[in-house]
Amino acid sequence: MRDGSHVVAHQFTREQVQAVAKGLDDAGVPYIEVSHGDGLGGSTIQYGRSLVGEMELIEAAVASCKQAKVAVLLIPGIGTVHELKEAQNRGAGLVRVATHVTEADVSAQHIHIARELGMEVCGFLMMAHSAPVEKLVEQAKLMQSYGAEAVYVTDSAGALLPDQVRERIRALRQSLDIEIGFHAHNNLSVAIANTLVALEEGATRIDGSLRCLGAGAGNAQTEVLIAVLDRMGMDIGIDLYKLMDVAEEIVGPIMPHSQEIRKGSLVMGYAGVYSSFLLHAERAGKRFGVDPRDILLEVGRRKAVGGQEDMIIDVAAELAKLQKAGG
């Protein structure tokens, strides 16, 4: 639900979170991530205000689960230790500390404190396509040294192809002593394929969202992924029928539109742009009379990272000025 928060412009209600969490828990899903789409503390004018405070949503999810552990995401600089402690106090049992793939050093304090709080802690290296494999390994080792119990290769832009995923997961498996995770986006329609490759190469934690409810074209579709894994003979203890029912009867009605690969999300995968930028680019394009695809391509050229949503407005204004000057 954390990644899905982007799709609903962070307008989840308490009742929706309760229903989804209860359904996932009943189906046997072991972890459910709940927070603002940009992580703890993300409810701001820059990233989008939440309808309901994330601490209330975390508490609602925890109360709805009998076996699942409720997780949160924290991006240092957006979320602080204060929000982390409050989330843990409300019942969150796992935190994924997320940084750009070259900036793992900013995660040290949050990883240390989360471990002191008794939380399960994972590192989350975003925009993993945008750095050489050697840099990814270097940064993952830093997170391991800080106390992370797993490190995720995070394809935030949905830009990685299967061979690139294979190379990255294999390199981490050969270099780390902790678990490896993989987080896919479907902007190039390879989220399931990429996830299967990650599993083949030793990833033991994988992400998904029901009905692809995630930023851009969404994540690996959970119910599809479980069906594929079942066909492969991998029983991971999740009830497929129950998962399908939650997807169809609870998540489906929440979605403002079906998740499909449209021109905006396709351009994000093509240009390697952070998936949560899509709604911001569409709004800026409408405001300034600029094609959102041009905005996303230019943001990609400038190598913007998560947390730089304000750059989208600047780019849109500059492109509009250039259009006007060109007649």
Work out the average pLDDT over 228-252.
Answer: 96
Q: Are residues 321 and 247 in the same domain?
A: no
> Does the annotation place 239 within a ligand binding site?
no
Model confidence at 217, pLDDT cuts 50, 70, 90, reads: very high
Query: CA–CA separation, 155 vs 106, rounded Å?
Result: 20
Task: Count how many domains the chain has.
Answer: 2
Segment among 6-20, 161-175, 249-263, 274-288 with least mean pLDDT: 274-288
Helix (H) or strand (E) holding 325: helix 310-325
For helices 133-146 and 108-116, the axis angle rounded to 10 degrees is 40
CATH number at residue 292: 1.10.8.60
Query: CA–CA separation, 219 vs 216, rounded Å?
Result: 8
> Does the annotation place 175 within a ligand binding site?
no
Give the model confidence (pLDDT) of 248-300 as tens digits.
Answer: 999 999 999 989 898 888 998 998 988 778 888 999 999 999 999 999 999 98
Q: pLDDT value at position 309?
A: 81
> Does the annotation place 156 within a ligand binding site?
yes
Q: Are residues 118 and 40 in the same domain?
A: yes
Name the residues annotated as catalytic: 6
pLDDT at 327 over 70: no
> Does the annotation place 25 within a ligand binding site?
no
Give the model confidence (pLDDT) of 130-156 as tens digits.
Answer: 999 999 999 999 999 999 999 999 999
Work out the average pLDDT over 200-220.
Answer: 96
What global pTM score does this model have? 0.91
**Assigned domain for 269 exists:** no
Collapsing DSSP to helix, strand or coil, 79 comes out as strand
Q: Are residues 197 and 310 in the same domain?
A: no
Percent of the chain scored above 90 by pLDDT?
A: 86
**Assigned domain for 263 exists:** no
